Amino acid sequence: MNQDILVLVEQVRGQVADITYTMLAQARQLASAGAKIVALLIGNDAEALSQDLAADEVLYVDHPALKEFNGEAYAHLLAETITRLAPRLVLLGDTTIGADVAGWVSARLELPLVSCCRTIHAEGGDWVFVSPVCGGKLVAEGVLPAQTTVVTMQPGGFRTEQGRSAQPPHVARLEPPALDGLRITLKQYTEPQGEDVDITHQPLLVAVGRGIERQDNLDVVQELADALGGTVCATRPVVDQNWLPTSRLVGKSGKTVKPTVYLALGISGAPEHCEAITGSEMIIAVNTDPVAPIFNLARYGTTLDLLDLAPVLAEKARAVKVR
Amino acid sequence: MPERIDFWGIPQPWGPILVYSIVMLAAVVMLVRVYRQASLWWKVGRPEKRWDRPLARLWNVVKVSFAQLRLLRQRYPGIMHFTLAWAYFVFFAGTALATINGHFFTFLVGSPYLVYKLVLDLFTLVFLVGAGMAAYRRFIKKPQRLTLNSRFTWSLIFIVGIVFNGLLVESFRLAIQKPDWALWSPVGWGLAQLWIGTGIPEAALHTLHVTFYFIHFLTVSALFVTLPASSLLHIFTVPLNAFFADLDVPAGRLPALPQNKQSEPVYASSLKGLTWKQLLDGDTCTECGRCQDACPTYAAGGEVSPKQLIVRMRDALHRDGRAIASGQAAPVLAGDGISESMLWSCTTCGACDEECPALIDHTGLVVDFRRWLVSEGRVETRLQDALAALSRYGNSFGQSERARAKWTQPMPVKVKDARKEAVEYLWFVGDYAAYNPQVSDVTRLTAELFQKAGLDFGILYEGERNAGNDVRRAGEEGLFEFLVEKNAAALGKCTYQKIVTCDPHSYNTLKNEYPAEAVGGRPVLHSAELLEQLVTTHKLELTKKLGTRVTYHDPCYLGRYNGVYAAPRRLLAAAGCTLVEMPRHGAQALCCGAGGGRIWMDEGPMKERPSENRVREAAALPGVEVLVVACPKDLVMFRDAIKTTGLEGKLVVKELAEIIKEAAT
Amino acid sequence: MKILVPVQFVPDLVEELVIDASGDRLDPYSIRWKLNECDDHAIEQAILLKEKYGGTVSVLAPDFEGVEDALYAAGAKGADRLVRLCADFEGGANTHALARLFLPLIQQEKPDLVLTGVQAYSSMDGNVGSLLAGMLDWPYVGYVSGVKPGDRKVWVRKDFPGGLTAELEAQLPAVLGIQAAETPPRYVPISKVRQVMKTCKIEEVNADLDPAGGVATRELRPPEGATRATMLDGDVEAVADQLVEILRAQGVL
């Protein structure tokens, strides 16, 4: 085993996901002198995606069957690569892509696995991981074992720019394996319901979570958003109830947003949500629970009831706009 | 000599024979048809014993059918119906007396006869007044709560027609007879002047008399025959329903889930799951709509109404009853004929049961249907979450049981733990009073008042669970039993003399529904009752006379269900407050909309929430600044309503304890 | 179709989370266990499949406090077999250990489909589904919110980032990590659960716990206060005023 770090590149429909850059940034920070950062890119006609990856080397596997994400193929390829390279650390995203692969590989190769990791830092000769657990209410810290370890990373620990490179890395093409026996195939994508607004391009987002309690209270929130000139979005519990369409979902299985201001109303701050808003310039949180994890992420906060605050804030905002 | 001549002017002998045979035939047909309809109640419905306390039941019949007290609560329709009904009682009695007189025992001679005639004639007038009121109401005024269709119009036409007809017959006879005692039949005689005046020959008058006489008894026969299918069936069903009604209305005690012979629960999925009494309720309803007018959800703009509930059940019985009785499968009722949204919208406030002149039980029916919906898992998400939280944590807030007594922490003098020491009063605090921060401030205040009065009291701390009143009314009987078990176990380990609670819902179920072993037969008081006792016995001294103008909202489960109206009012008087009653007060108080599990459900579309309606009613009272409540849920609902109606600054909501605290300092 | 649903328990966050004196784990006596929410969805999805397409559903649960309630509730929803895995679970078990516990039963039963919750917020070493799939060498699809069986295969709807979903086809036997059932978990009335308690039996299986594969924690602590938000003071009016100022300063108002 060497000190190399292997990163699995996540790409969906021809775009490299931000989490990849986060992982590369993490790898950059950890890699000691002489250690290589290797990125594993899988796809079809996707070599160009390797251009700005901040890796020392990119291993690229090309095959028509790998155009879209395939959990089985990715797992096999990753396992093979790990066996060949014997790296110190294998980084995958703690995402709907990485989490499908990590456990399979960990079980198959009998490698230890750390999931939901926020950051890894060096401490003397040890590598120490920090992971939020229990909905963000606790933080776990531990030393990575001295053997090849698989780690799935959450977004937010690093700025994605740190994982980009101006210089394209060296790309080595790997022989694609025999892929006829694949037991999983992607049939088709389903677009999110056609919606007027793309929340990823809005400067001011008014987000609602469980704290809104009932669907009728959405009116109050919409009023506030209108008064502020912002857009309403939501966390999973709200979308699951069909109070808002999935196009408004912000979170691990929804959209990642980077607005100028993110106003979080009645949102506790579970990691699945928080990971998608860490890019916001400013987060303001309204939650009656003074120890809600969202307050660790927000710049400003208040424990007032959102139903009391929203109408008053809307009125004042309207007054300002009139002036 | 004044006397009643049987069948005067009617051709003998075939006249009486014809009359008797046709009328009796018609009467038999009527009774057979009534019986056939009635038999559906017990052939389709479940058995249930309702023969206990027959004298009390008979007294209900007197109050409902003869005194018609509930009807008279509303002046216009009350007088209208009273006159119509009593006129007919008198006419019926008159006909009966005439028959006895004609065949068995002659007594309508001389003065008795004259009085007899006068009474009958005067009641004709009385009837005409009522008929006029009815016609005006049904054709001109057209109040929304009535069903204005031909069925009811025909009934009115029939009964008016018969009386007019009878009057005509009498007038023709009097025009011919011209007796000395004619003035004892003033109305008939007045009409007879018309014929005398126009100089119609006597022979023509005879023909008219006989013609209208036959028309009269044919109409009566027609009425008999059609009565079982008409709205007048209530003549039979209302007294029956009054006899078999629950003796406590509204019932603070719901029946347990019925079981069949295999000890399996019987649910009200179809008509077969209802009792014969519930089906009788359907046939009793005259669609007067008073229940609908009293219903808070209906007033809020919902389409759901207690009247529609009963009418649809009745329609289902008429449509499918025969088929079901002959063995065919019974179609599902709840959720199909009667929508789920209608069933879940009820707050179980009991206002409908309180207003119904026929003593129909609406809320019991709603709960029975809900029990079935719950058994099928057809429960909306928010209610599911609340029930799951109640099951797991013993409260609907989803907060830990360990946090139940957090409200006691800031108190300088610790509240006794009834699980560890013997107390005189065991204070059952309730969920909202413990967990809701708005209310827990008042709970602390109440605790301080108790302490100031030197009361020996304690609470169950974490041993307390939701008492289960609204869980039961939401139809989750299994969860109710589970909560009762847990509370009974906790109570069983304590030593106490009485239970006191500030929550009317807990009060109702602890007092009326908890098994005797659970509370050991000990009295259950509401804090209003206890505070009043403490004030009158000077254990709690009220030093200040507040002089504020207040109004008081009677909580449904304290007032309507359990009759506690006076104690809170005496308390307010003792505190020197001037009480101004809202138009709907006492047993007519408008529910805040939170009961029956509604506070755990999605509101649904509403024009105006019941709580908003109520605070506006309070704010409209001149010079009233304070709305006093005696229930934690009322406190929360009305404070929210004041915000949403923009009445902040004009009206303030205070709990009784807050008022007493002000007066006691 | 034969479906197996392995489930797990997580600490109930409604209760206060107390860290053990050792500082590296939760105080086992203060933990109140609750069925993992995603596993509740997995049970529901399995029952939905059974109702629509026939088959059997077996639920496997480790012997944590409250396991009976969870299993009987699953039985009341329609699960056919209720299995309780007994081992020494003091303080919990990592995901690798749980996967190893479930493995022999799955190999024995040879189900067509294994449905399990895609994640549990107390897991620190991956999710049960993908681990099991690796041990069994079966295909695995996670973040599934819809399942339809076909001929020796299933079609699933998988969540992708950005609100995107895709329909995938997987050959049976397979392991699916359920994010959400097609309809929210149904309500089971207490009376039904009590009925099931009388009629259904919970099978007990004894096993040994092998925690290898997880990673040791050296410290468990509450989140940092260093980056805590500046809390705004005052009543609704005052806070609203402050917010207006903040928003103006940010240039959005």
The complex scores an ipTM of: 0.88
Is residue A249 situated within a structural domain?
A: yes
Residue of chain C minimizing CA distance to B483: C190
Dihedral of CA B642/B645/B649/B651: which sign?
negative
Between A66 and A323, whose confidence is greater? A66
Instruction: Say if residue B600's pLDDT is above 80.
Output: yes
A308 chain-B contacts, CB cut-off 8 A: 643
Please tell me whether residues A167 and A240 are part of one structural domain.
no
Distances (CA, A) of A267 to A233, A285, B4, B605: 11, 8, 88, 25
B626-629/B549-552 β-pairing: parallel
The alpha-carbon gap from C108 to the nearest alpha carbon of chain A, in Å, equals 19
- Tell the burial category of B1 from Cβ atoms under 10 Å away from its Cβ (0-12, 13-18, 19+): exposed
CB contact under 8 A, A190 and C164: yes
A296 chain-C contacts, CB cut-off 8 A: 223-225, 227-229
Cβ atoms C43, C77 nearer than 8 A? yes
CA–CA separation, B647 vs B639, rounded Å?
A: 10
CB contact under 8 A, B400 and C186: no
A101 chain-C contacts, CB cut-off 8 A: 130
User: For the domain that residue A284 is a member of, what is the CATH number?
Assistant: 3.40.50.1220
What average pLDDT does this structure show over A163-167? 90
Tell me whether A133 touches chain C (CB under 8 Å). Answer: yes
What average pLDDT does this structure show over B398-404? 90
Is residue A180 situated within a structural domain?
A: no
Minimum-distance CB partner of A308 among C225, C229, C236: C236
Q: What is the pLDDT of residue A180?
A: 78
Number of alpha carbons in the 13 Å side-chain half-sphere of residue C108: 7
Beta-carbon contacts of B231 under 8 Å, excluding residues fewer than 6 positions away, are B151, B152, B155, B286, B287
Residue to test with chain A: of C13, C18, C121, C220, most A Cβ within 10 A: C121
Residue (of B401, A119, B386, A137) closest to C10 by Cα position: A137
For A216-264, write each residue's pLDDT tens digit.
889 999 999 999 989 999 998 888 878 888 889 998 778 888 898 999 9
Chains near B with 3+ CB pairs less than 8 A apart are A, C
Tell me whether B543 touches chain A (CB under 8 Å). Answer: no
Q: Tell me the Cα Rg of chain C.
A: 21
Dihedral of CA B83/B87/B93/B96: which sign?
negative
Whether CATH 3.40.50.620 fits C2-206? yes
Cβ atoms A129, C206 nearer than 8 A? no
Distances (CA, A) of A121 to A32, A54, C160: 12, 18, 29
Q: The pTM is what?
A: 0.87
CB contact under 8 A, B402 and C15: yes
Please tell me whether residues A43 and A159 are part of one structural domain.
yes
Structure tokens at B576: 């020197």
Minimum-distance CB partner of C131 among A103, A183, A284: A103
What average pLDDT does this structure show over B624-628? 96
Please tell me whether residues A139 and A232 are part of one structural domain.
no
Q: What is the pLDDT of residue C176?
A: 97
A298 chain-C contacts, CB cut-off 8 A: 229
Please tell me whether residues A208 and A168 are part of one structural domain.
no
Structure tokens at B180: 């000395």
Low-confidence winner among B345-349, B602-606, C107-111 (lowest mean pLDDT): B602-606
Residue of chain B minimizing CA distance to C30: B402
What average pLDDT does this structure show over C32-38? 95
Hey, what long-range contacts does A314-322 have (CB within 8 A, 24 or more apart)? A314/A220, A314/A223, A314/A224, A314/A226, A314/A227, A314/A228, A315/A227, A315/C240, A316/C240, A316/C241, A316/C244, A317/A224, A317/A227, A317/A228, A317/C244, A317/C247, A317/C253, A318/A227, A320/C244, A320/C248, A320/C253, A321/A227, A321/A229, A321/C253
Chains near C with 3+ CB pairs less than 8 A apart are A, B
Q: What is the pLDDT of residue A176?
A: 84
Instruction: Say if residue B249's pLDDT is above 70.
Output: no
Amino acid at B19: V
C247 chain-A contacts, CB cut-off 8 A: 204, 228, 261, 317
Please tell me whether residues A33 and A168 are part of one structural domain.
yes
Structure tokens at B599: 């506070």
Residue to test with chain B: of A212, A215, A219, A303, most B Cβ within 10 A: A215
Domain endpoint, select from A174, A209, A234: A174
Cβ atoms B192, B177 nearer than 8 A? no
For C158-206, write each residue's pLDDT tens digit.
988 767 889 999 999 999 999 999 998 999 999 999 999 999 999 999 9
Beta-carbon contacts of B409 under 8 Å, excluding residues fewer than 6 positions away, are none
What average pLDDT does this structure show over B358-371? 95
CB contact under 8 A, B603 and A214: yes
Please tell me whether residues A52 and A164 are part of one structural domain.
yes
Residue A76 structural domain: 5-174
Tell me whether B382 touches chain A (CB under 8 Å). Answer: yes
For B430-475, write each residue's pLDDT tens digit.
999 999 988 999 999 999 999 999 999 999 999 999 999 999 999 9
Work out the pLDDT band at B63, boundaries 50, 70, 90. very high
What DSSP string describes B46-87?
Answer: BP----SSHHHHHHHHIIIIII-TTGGGSHHHHHHHHHHHHH
What average pLDDT does this structure show over B510-532? 93
Q: What is the pLDDT of residue B9?
A: 84
List phi, psi (to 5°) of C210: -115, 105
DSSP bridge partners of A185: C169
Work out the pLDDT band at A155, boundaries 50, 70, 90. confident
For B537-589, write each residue's pLDDT tens digit.
999 999 989 999 999 999 999 999 999 999 999 999 999 999 999 999 999 99
Cβ atoms A244, A234 nearer than 8 A? yes
DSSP bridge partners of A152: A92
B379 chain-C contacts, CB cut-off 8 A: 187
B381 chain-A contacts, CB cut-off 8 A: 241
Cβ atoms A135, A251 nearer than 8 A? no
Please tell me whether residues A88 and A128 are part of one structural domain.
yes
Tell me whether C37 touches chain A (CB under 8 Å). Answer: no
Tell me whether C231 touches chain A (CB under 8 Å). Answer: yes
Chains near A with 3+ CB pairs less than 8 A apart are B, C
CB contact under 8 A, B375 and C16: no
Please tell me whether residues A15 and A124 are part of one structural domain.
yes
Amino acid at C242: Q
Is residue A181 situated within a structural domain?
A: no
DSSP E strands in B545-659: the ranges are 549-552, 578-579, 626-629, 652-655
Work out the pLDDT band at A323, boundaries 50, 70, 90. low
Work out the pLDDT band at A196, boundaries 50, 70, 90. low
Tell me whether B581 touches chain A (CB under 8 Å). Answer: no
Can you give the residue ranges of every domain in chain C? Answer: 2-206
The domain tally of chain A equals 2
Instruction: Say if residue C226's pLDDT is above 70.
Output: no
Instruction: Say if residue C96's pLDDT is above 80.
Output: yes
Cβ atoms A127, A144 nearer than 8 A? yes
Q: What is the pLDDT of residue B264?
A: 85
Instruction: Say if residue C102's pLDDT is above 80.
Output: yes
CB contact under 8 A, B482 and C190: yes
Q: What is the pLDDT of residue B383?
A: 93
Please tell me whether residues A311 and A208 are part of one structural domain.
yes
The alpha-carbon gap from C122 to the nearest alpha carbon of chain A, in Å, equals 5
C245 chain-A contacts, CB cut-off 8 A: none
Residue (of B630, B409, B650, B383) closest to B526 by Cα position: B630
